[in-house]
Amino acid sequence: MNADSPAEKEYNTLNLGPTHPATHGIFQNVLKMDGEVIVSSEPTIGYIHRAFEKLAERRPFYQVTPITDRLNYCSSPINNMGWHMTVEKLIGAKLPKRVEYLRVIVMELARISDHIVCNAVIGVDSGALTGFVYMFQEREKIYEIYEEICGARLTTNIGRIGGFERDFTAQAWGKLEKFLAEFPRVLKEFENLLNRNRIFMDRTIGTGPITAENALNYSFTGPNLRAAGVDYDVRVMTPYSSYEDFDFVIPVGTSGDTFDRYMVRQEEMWQSISIIKQAIEKLGKLDDQTSFHADVPEFYLPPKEDVYNTMEGLIWHFKIVMGETDVPKGEVYHCVEGGNGELGFYLVSDGGRTPYRLAFRRPCFIYYQAYAEMIKGSMLSDAILTMSSMNVIAGELDA
Amino acid sequence: MVQLNAQEVADRLQAKFGNKIRHVEEPHGFLTITVAREAVKDIIQWLYDEPTLEFRFLTNCNGMHFPDGTEKFGMVYHLHSLTNNFRLRLKTFTNEDPPVFPSLTPIFKAANWMERETYDFFGFKFTGHPDLRRILNMDNLEGWPLRKEFPLEDPFRKDKDDAMFGR
Amino acid sequence: MVEISKAPDGFEGPGFLATRLDKAVGLARANSLWPLPFATSCCGIEFMATMGAHYDFARFGSERLSFSPRQADLLMVMGTIAKKMGPVLRQVYEQMAEPRWVLSVGACASSGGIFDTYSVLQGIDRIIPVDVYVPGCPPRPEQILDGVMKIQELVENESLRRRDSEEYKALMASYGMQ
């Protein structure tokens, strides 16, 4: 037998560049490939770094809300409400149950909307474009519900510190009921296209797996961690906004591969539908049927009739938006279960108009570190699927 | 699952590390402990290994800059014990410039990018970090953006009319 | 009778229409724009909604999105362009073949948007020439379609010699491109 060592392998360098149809968002991976197999990869991020944390130090609390919109822009309401809850924790505000249930409805709609994007795009990346077109139609319905509540589609800037700017109108309830009646059928249709599809299963099972201990060491949270087998959900561990009153299941996977991540998100959408229905039922049983905000005049913008017709309303509005009201000193950390996991806000206030330091705990940034390890040894197309199943949103990655 | 309470955790830390624990407080019900910089890695390692504590999840770590404070640069670590469902905040400060902190990468792989981000924003050095370089900003950026003296806006713009912006 | 597009003026006869060359070329180009969606952030999600069934971008002839610059006519820059991304955007623009048009979608691409910071490019027209700006944060799909229709107007009425004219060459030179 010839005992010569094999010739030195020459690896191909492939730039999965910042602009690429399959990278959803702009981040770069320089891959070293041995034919079709990836030997190593070098990620570069920061192509959309917009300096949120520095911006937040310059803006009073209400002006920070539009920035939080643009973190995970597929589910903006969750970010907005997480931020408002952080400030409410700082000022010690207590919200009426009705407001908390209304918030739950909006947050679960946002979660459905985020998972629609992720799952539809996993379909597109494996070649199945039909599911995308069907599911995006449902997102339009969610956008219409947002528009009834706050006026905007995508970057919602929804709510106030203490609740909502206005009560849900009859049209909003009507659209919500219609959505709850029609969405399950479309979701089932989408499932029929992909869940037991031979090709989809072959593409996704075993692709980009991660073990539970590795995922915990990388501080994974959200559906990616749950797909690996750990049932950590902020809504259950550290309940906020009355989530402890709701009865829902946390879907958990086994091997942390792409198929598990896809299935966990599918099941979470079903659970979200159930939570919204429970919330509507609970709202019907409350004694209080009218309040939509807490009583925090120093932080809650006055209603527009007062702003336009009374002097006090106008002055309060101006003071609050420009941050001229008294803010307590302190530091607070609040986290919510975003579409991608634990979205945390660490707010340090020194009593001034603007936060002294606001650090965002962004789940995408933290779990994307593991990507290089997850795709080592897999083929290029599988690496693409792994990336889309991790649901990396560039806004949250770079902030 | 062991029911931990803040007093117990603080007591055990004080018992083990004595004068390395500088300050204990509970703002808004969240146990916050300020520790000495040279002991922070040992403390976190002990919290990781100790059987009934098990702080095995690093939620976040970020930097702080207090130009007017007695100790100017700080690191804040948020830890979470998933088995006991207990959260802890550790803070540590220094006055050196550039500030040097021990890297947590041997304990938590997640600390890799978190510390790179802190380096990018503040210029903190982390001893033992495998690859400390800028992550979000451009490589040729001079200065440390999140320090208080760094301006927010681009200083090289010529098209903004200062009179219109009230400057 | 469905009118797909307005026919240019010309001399009509049984089975033929005689018109000017640039009108025919303009008609063909305007109704078959292949966009390069340079989607970076939130405006990109609104673009995905525009591509969806409700707003249907495909009926403007843009059924086929091209991610390769050589095969694209219209560069749609959607989302914030950070200074780190600037050279990449410029390279993509330079690689596009003539004739090419640029649509800047959203406040961030047009002028930096709400991000007046050290790391964000305050408008892509600092590095590449832009034809149509669509304001909004993010613009509604109807606004994006309106922007595309304005591009179609520009395309239809463009002179065939524009890309060789002195004015165009001066514009490219002002950006430092050939």
Q: What's the rounded Cα separation, in Å, for the pair B81 and B59?
A: 10
pLDDT per residue over A182-207, tens digit each?
999 999 999 999 999 999 999 999 89
Interface of A with C in 277-316 (CB under 8 A): none
Residues of B in contact with A343 (CB under 8 A): none
Nearest residue to B59 via CA among A345, A395, A280: A345
Taking residues B113-119, report their average pLDDT. 93
* More confident site: A89 or A26: A89
Looking only at the bridges linking them, the beta strands covering B86-94 and B32-35 are parallel
Interface of C with B in 146-165 (CB under 8 A): none
Q: What's the rounded Cα separation, in Å, for the pair A234 and A259?
A: 23
Read off the tokens for A18: 């910042």
Nearest residue to A23 via CA among C39, C89, C108, C79: C39
Mean of per-residue pLDDT scores for chain C: 89
Q: Is the pLDDT of residue A373 over 80?
A: yes
| pLDDT at residue C22, as a whole number | 87
Q: Is the pLDDT of residue B74 over 80?
A: yes
| pLDDT at residue A113, as a whole number | 94
Q: What are phi and psi of C171, to 5 degrees?
A: -60, -45
Mutate to test the interface with A, among B31, B44, B59 (most CBs of A within 10 A): B59
| pLDDT at residue A258, as a whole number | 93
Residue C134 pairs in a beta bridge with: C105
Residues of A in contact with C118 (CB under 8 A): 51
Read off the tokens for A379: 């083929």
| pLDDT at residue A22, as a whole number | 62
Residue A338 pairs in a beta bridge with: A341
| pLDDT at residue A1, as a whole number | 43
Residues belonging to chain A: 399
Mutate to test the interface with A, among C38, C42, C143 (most CBs of A within 10 A): C42
| Predicted ipTM of the assembly | 0.93
The answer to whether A188 and A195 are in contact (CB under 8 A) is no
Q: What's the rounded Cα separation, in Å, for the pair A334 and A240?
A: 9
- Annotate C80-134 with DSSP letters as a single string: --BTTTHHHHHHHHHHSPSS-EEEEESHHHHH-TT--STTB-S-GGGTS--SEEE
Q: From edge to edge, which strands make up the β-sheet containing C101-105?
A: C35-39, C74-78, C101-105, C132-134
Nearest CA in chain B to A88: B28
| Single-letter amino acid code for the residue at A278 | Q
| Single-letter amino acid code for the residue at A359 | A
Nearest CA in chain B to A399: B136
Q: Is the pLDDT of residue A27 over 90?
A: no
| pLDDT at residue A219, as a whole number | 93
pLDDT per residue over C151-164, tens digit each?
999 999 888 888 88
The answer to whether A54 and A399 are in contact (CB under 8 A) is no
- Give the predicted TM-score (pTM) of the model: 0.93
Interface of A with C in 195-214 (CB under 8 A): none
CA distances from C30 to C5, C59, C60, C99, C176 (A): 10, 12, 9, 11, 28
User: Judging by beta carbons within 10 Å of its beta carbon (0-12, 13-18, 19+), is residue C151 exposed, middle or buried?
Assistant: buried
List all chains that touch chain C, counting a touch as 3 or more CB pairs closer than 8 Å. Answer: A, B
Residue with tokens 């540590």: B92
| Single-letter amino acid code for the residue at A128 | A
Q: What are phi and psi of B92, to 5 degrees?
A: -145, 145
Gap from A134 CA to chain B (nearest CA, Å): 36
Do the chains contact at A133 and C118, CB–CB below 8 Å? no
Do the chains contact at B152 and A49, CB–CB below 8 Å? no
Nearest residue to C37 via CA among C26, C29, C49: C49
Mean of per-residue pLDDT scores for chain A: 90
Confidence of residue B167 (pLDDT cuts 50, 70, 90): low
Do the chains contact at B153 and C116, CB–CB below 8 Å? yes
| pLDDT at residue B6, as a whole number | 85
C83 part of contact set with chain B, CB < 8 Å? yes
C115 part of contact set with chain A, CB < 8 Å? yes
pLDDT per residue over A346-355, tens digit each?
999 998 889 9
pLDDT per residue over B5-36, tens digit each?
888 888 898 899 888 888 899 999 899 999 99
Task: For residue C99, say if its preceding peptide bond is cis, omega within 30 degrees of 0.
Answer: yes
Non-local (6+) Cβ contacts of C137 within 8 A are A155, C42, C106, C107, C108, C113, C114
Packed helices A311-321 and A61-69: angle between N→C axes, nearest 10 degrees? 60
Residue with tokens 């009934």: B52
Q: What are phi and psi of C78, to 5 degrees?
A: -125, 110
Do the chains contact at B154 and C118, CB–CB below 8 Å? yes
Do the chains contact at B28 and A89, CB–CB below 8 Å? yes
Mutate to test the interface with C, among A15, A16, A19, A67 (most CBs of C within 10 A): A19
